Amino acid sequence: MQKLIVIKIGGQAIHQLQPTFFTQLQHWLDQDYQLLIVHGGGPMITQLTDELALPVKKVNGLRVTDAATLNLTKLALLGDAQPALLSQLSQHGLPVLGLNAADNQLLTGKLVDYQQLGYVGRITAVDDNQLSQLLAHHIGVLAPLALTENGQWLNVNADMAATVLAQQLHAEKLVLLTDVPGIMHHGNLMTSLSPHQAQRLIQTAVITAGMQPKVRAAIAAIQTGVKQAVITNAIDRPGTAIIQEVAV
């Protein structure tokens, strides 16, 4: 795989992207990076479930996904969130390609815990050869859905999906977009943290519940070979970088 940057963007952020987002993507392309964007669609899914009066239940931050919710999730991600993001990228002259698990079994997954979560899955295999060919000429825009070996669709947490893809594709960098500049401590932005330092801040509640899933995702990426994982609210700003431990 050529040098790669994986970017995770939430559904809410899709409609709040600033011009610098598109400028930075073009800058990376000019530097010969391959780019893969993993997008969420939480607000779109919630809107559909509200309109149809379907119950919403979450366990440890994961949306319990029965058959009806799974169908709405696919509709929200592939029929709303992804087209909206592709449209914006295209309008800024960027070469883009919408991707999902059904593209020749691009992402294979397994159920996490059907009794507790329903059709929530985790990615177990990535077709890196196919992705490498697709990303050679396009920015990939990928929905966090997977297929089991038997063809069952699975709903995958977008942060987890981006992390696994960064690991499997040996990305140089994982960027987790959020709604804050990074990890704050006493009102100051912490520009870099080792996994050990980050774990200590979680244990002492400096890093609170809302940020913890992203920090844990960043740590997992770093510990499995990704050189740098960044938590930020804008890809052109440094944010907080989770970096490899320095050997002494």
3-state SS class at 84 = helix
107 in Cβ contact with 126 (< 8 Å) = yes
Q: Which one-letter amino acid corresponds to residue 233?
A: N
CA-based Rg of the chain, rounded to a whole angstrom?
A: 17
Instruction: Please tell me whether 155 is known to bind a ligand.
Output: yes
Instruction: Please tell me whether 237 is known to bind a ligand.
Output: no
List beta partners, residue 226: none
pLDDT value, residue 236: 87
- The model's pTM is 0.92
Fold of 4-242: Carbamate kinase (3.40.1160)
Instruction: Please tell me whether 71 is known to bind a ligand.
Output: no
Write out the chain's pLDDT in tens, 248 residues. Answer: 579 999 999 888 898 899 999 999 999 999 999 999 999 988 888 889 888 888 888 887 788 899 999 999 999 999 999 999 999 999 999 999 999 988 888 999 999 999 999 999 999 999 999 999 999 999 999 999 999 999 999 999 999 999 999 999 999 999 999 888 888 888 888 899 888 888 888 888 888 767 888 888 899 999 888 988 999 988 988 899 998 765 54
Which is it for the CA torsion 213, 218, 219, 225, positive or negative? positive
How far is 23 from 87, CA to CA, in rounded Å? Answer: 16
pLDDT value, residue 194: 87
Short-list 13, 12, 115, 143, CA closest to 59: 115
Residue 159 annotated to the active site = yes
How far is 190 from 16, CA to CA, in rounded Å? Answer: 24
81 in Cβ contact with 11 (< 8 Å) = yes
pLDDT value, residue 246: 57
Residue 214 annotated to the active site = yes
CA angle 210, 214, 218 (to 5 degrees): 155
Query: Which residue is catalytic, options 40, 80, 121, 159?
Result: 159
Backbone angle region of 127, left / alpha / beta, with phi > 0 → left and psi within -120 to 50 → alpha: beta
How far is 29 from 111, CA to CA, in rounded Å? Answer: 35
Domain boundaries, the chain: 4-242
pLDDT value, residue 248: 43
Instruction: Please tell me whether 42 is known to bind a ligand.
Output: yes
Residue 128 annotated to the active site = no
Residue 140 annotated to the active site = no
pLDDT value, residue 104: 81
Short-list 193, 180, 184, 187, CA closest to 229: 193
How far is 185 from 207, CA to CA, in rounded Å? Answer: 8
pLDDT value, residue 131: 92
221 in Cβ contact with 229 (< 8 Å) = yes
Residue 110 annotated to the active site = no
The token duo for 193 is 């943290």
pLDDT value, residue 1: 52
Query: Which residue is catalytic, options 8, 74, 80, 239?
Result: 8
143 in Cβ contact with 86 (< 8 Å) = no
31 in Cβ contact with 200 (< 8 Å) = no
